[in-house]
Amino acid sequence: MMTQITSVQAAILAINSLALGGLLFLLSSGFSLIFGLMRIPNLMHGSFFMLGAYFGVTLLSWGTNFWLAAVLSGLAVAAIGGVIERLLLRRLEGQVLPQVLLTLGFAFIIADVCLMVWTGDPSQPSAPAELRGAVQAFGMFFPLYRLAILGVAVVIAIALWIMVDWTRLGAMIRAGVDDPPIARVVGIKVSRLFTLIFCLGAALAAFAGVMGAPYLSVYPGLDFEMLPLALIVVILGGSGSLLGTLVGSFLIGFLYNFGQAMFRDLAYVILFLPMLLVLVLRPQGLFGRNVA
């Protein structure tokens, strides 16, 4: 059942793993903000990713610049997420079951609407022209675009870390999450802040979708394939922890690629093993805070 791999294959797999890890971080950091910080079980997160990717496909087919397309599609999905949060999710604060059903309902709606608009055929936009080549190092060729995904993920990780840990906005978010009534008393607009975080999470997912499109391609079902991945990353890393999300993303990235190459039949199952281990040994996640 196990397939042997050579060291050259291993190096290529490692690059792919880093790229997938970066992509997973973009996806899961948004999920971690929404699920980990705001405690909203957002089952639309995979749908945000897929919708973003499809928006990207359309924008790119109109000849938009790749990065502009990624940002625009992020903004569009952020707006959709914001409307759903503001008008519907907001009324269900603290009620888990209704939140789950509402987000699940929208996930189904988005999936079917995407199928209607973009049909069932997979589409794979090409990477931006300047990143189409490969770099040569250690006698091997590494595709430039995959390295670029990694680079973007690192930049966004640093930006998020600075925002949450070092800015006034981050302090307000942390206060709003830890003790909403007191935060309101000192004049923080918690409700507006939460909408902002939700939009940010949705935008990150959609941005990841566009970034991932040239690599993974976009097809129906992508949404429910990505959602569990975001879920295991966050359970693994500990909810609400950016560092945990980062470590979890790369762990899953490596496991996915190497598992795919070595245990083809079981690759998908292997992905869940570290999550199960963490649940048994350390339920709050690798870097999670110990919350009751």
Partner 1 sequence: MTRKLRYAAIAIALALLATLPMWMGNSYYINIASQFLLFAVFALALNVLVGYAGLVSLGHAGLFAIAGYSGALMLQAGYGHLVADSAALAITLVASAVFAALALRSTGIGFLMITLALGQIVWGVAYRWASLTNGDNGVNVSTRPAPFGLSLTSAPSFYFATLIVFLLAIASMAVFVRSPFGASLRGTRDQARRMNALGYNVWLIRFLAIVFSGFWTGVSGLLFIYYNQFISPQVSALTSSAEVLLMVISGGTATLFGPVAGAAIVVIMKNVVSAYIERWNLVLGVIFVVIITFMPEGLVPGSVRLVRWAWGKLQAKPGAAAAQPSKLPSEERVP
Based on the shown chain and the rule CB under 8 A, indicate whether residue 83 belongs to the binding site for partner 1. no
Contact set for partner 1, span 42-81 (CB under 8 A): 43
Residues β-bridged to residue 136: 141
> Is the separation of the CB atoms in 272 and 8 below 8 Å?
no
Kindly give the residue spans of alpha helices, DSSP state H, lying in the chain: 7-31, 45-61, 66-87, 96-118, 144-166, 168-178, 180-185, 190-216, 222-237, 242-262, 267-270, 273-281
**Minimum gap (Å) between residue 65 Cβ and partner 1:** 33
Based on the shown chain and the rule CB under 8 A, indicate whether residue 135 belongs to the binding site for partner 1. no
> Which stretch in 7-15, 48-56, 130-138, 277-285 sits in contact with partner 1 by CB under 8 A?
277-285
Based on the shown chain and the rule CB under 8 A, indicate whether residue 107 belongs to the binding site for partner 1. yes
CA separation for the pair 257, 15 (Å, rounded): 10
Q: By CB under 8 A, name the one of 11, 14, 15, 39 that touches partner 1.
A: 39
Candidates 169, 196, 197; CA nearest to 183 is 169
**Minimum gap (Å) between residue 264 Cβ and partner 1:** 8
> Which stretch in 2-10, 92-100, 173-181, 243-251 sits in contact with partner 1 by CB under 8 A?
92-100
> Which stretch in 33-41, 51-59, 61-69, 244-252 sits in contact with partner 1 by CB under 8 A?
33-41
> Which stretch in 59-67, 75-83, 103-111, 243-251 sits in contact with partner 1 by CB under 8 A?
103-111
Contact set for partner 1, span 229-268 (CB under 8 A): 231-232, 235, 265-268
Q: Which is nearer to partner 1, 5 or 96 (CB)?
A: 96
Q: How remote is the C-alpha of 111 from its chain's centroid? A: 17
| Binding-site size, partner 1 (CB under 8 A) | 40
The CA-atom distances, in angstroms, between 289 and each of 13, 27, 241 are 33, 21, 8
The CA-atom distances, in angstroms, between 232 and each of 51, 220, 245 are 21, 21, 10
> Which stretch in 6-14, 106-114, 130-138, 141-149 sits in contact with partner 1 by CB under 8 A?
106-114
Crossing angle of helices 242-262 and 144-166, rounded to 10°: 160
Based on the shown chain and the rule CB under 8 A, indicate whether residue 131 belongs to the binding site for partner 1. no
Based on the shown chain and the rule CB under 8 A, indicate whether residue 292 belongs to the binding site for partner 1. no
Give the type of residue at 167.
T
Q: Which is nearer to partner 1, 41 or 128 (CB)?
A: 41
Length of the chain: 292
291 φ, ψ (degrees, to nearest 5)? -110, 145
**Minimum gap (Å) between residue 52 Cβ and partner 1:** 19
Dihedral class, residue 39 (left if φ above 0, else alpha if ψ from -120 to 50, else beta): left
Give the type of residue at 254.
F
> Which stretch in 7-15, 137-145, 167-175, 223-231 sits in contact with partner 1 by CB under 8 A?
223-231
Positions touching partner 1 (CB under 8 A) are: 35, 39, 41, 43, 88, 92, 96-98, 100-102, 104-113, 116, 224, 228, 231-232, 235, 265-269, 271-272, 275-276, 279-280, 283
